[in-house]
Each structure stands twice: as structure tokens, then as C-alpha cells.
Amino acid sequence: MIFVVLEITKENFGSEVLNSKGPVLVDFWAPWCGPCRMLGPIVEEVGKEMEGKLKVAKCNVDDNQEIAGRFAIMSIPTLILFKDGHAVDTRVGAMPKERLKAWIKEKTGKTI
């Protein structure tokens, strides 16, 4: 089975994030952003390792300015961790895989 990161749009944001049971990690990014391109593969790896425990999604801020504005995204990459439809924590900037995993564990209680 191939792991696929969910692409978030204004059409599916409510159903895939706000109405989702359990934790959802949303990576707010843009294709022109160097740190976003560094963090993207790390987010995908963690998503693959936590499949079934954590939903991972990406939201292109250029294409989805309404969603980015709703969460006051001022810098990218920005990661927002949602739990049962509520934003529980935010991190801005690229980070190593181990720090990302530790943050997810701290906020959700889920381990890889």
C-alpha cells in the first residue's frame, strides 16, 4: 500500500480536519519555500510511520489563502496539530524528524 499525504483545500478542510476524530497534522507550505521543501519529506515519513494513528495533510497557502488567514499563518512552514477538530498546538519553521515525532507524542500521546 502506498502512503499518500492528503491535500487540503477549502472544499475538504472541514471534513478532513475539523470533523476528523483523532489527531491531524496540517503542514502549511508553498512550493517556492525552501524550508518547506526541506520539511515536506520529514512530514511524509512521520505520516507513513504513524499511519492509522495520525492523519497527515498539506495545505498550499498560495492556493488556500482563506484557510491560511483563518489560522493567521504569517510564516511558512507552519505545522498545526489538530485533535478532534481543534487546533492544539502550532510550530513554525523546519525541524528535524526526531523533534517532530517528540512534539506529536507530547501533544497527542501517540508514539511511532
Task: Report pLDDT digits (tens) over 18-34.
Answer: 999 989 999 999 999 99
Q: Which domain holds residue 59?
A: 6-108
Whole-prediction pTM value? 0.93
Q: Structural domain tally of the chain?
A: 1
Q: How far apart are CA 69 and CA 44, in angstroms?
A: 24
Catalytic residue among 8, 17, 36, 76: 36
Q: Flag whether 1 is in a domain.
A: no
CATH label of the domain that carries residue 98: 3.40.30.10
Active site (annotated) includes residue 36? yes
Q: How far apart are CA 112 and CA 101, in angstroms?
A: 7
Active site (annotated) includes residue 59? no
Parts of the chain with a pLDDT under 50: none
**pLDDT for the residue numbered 3:** 63
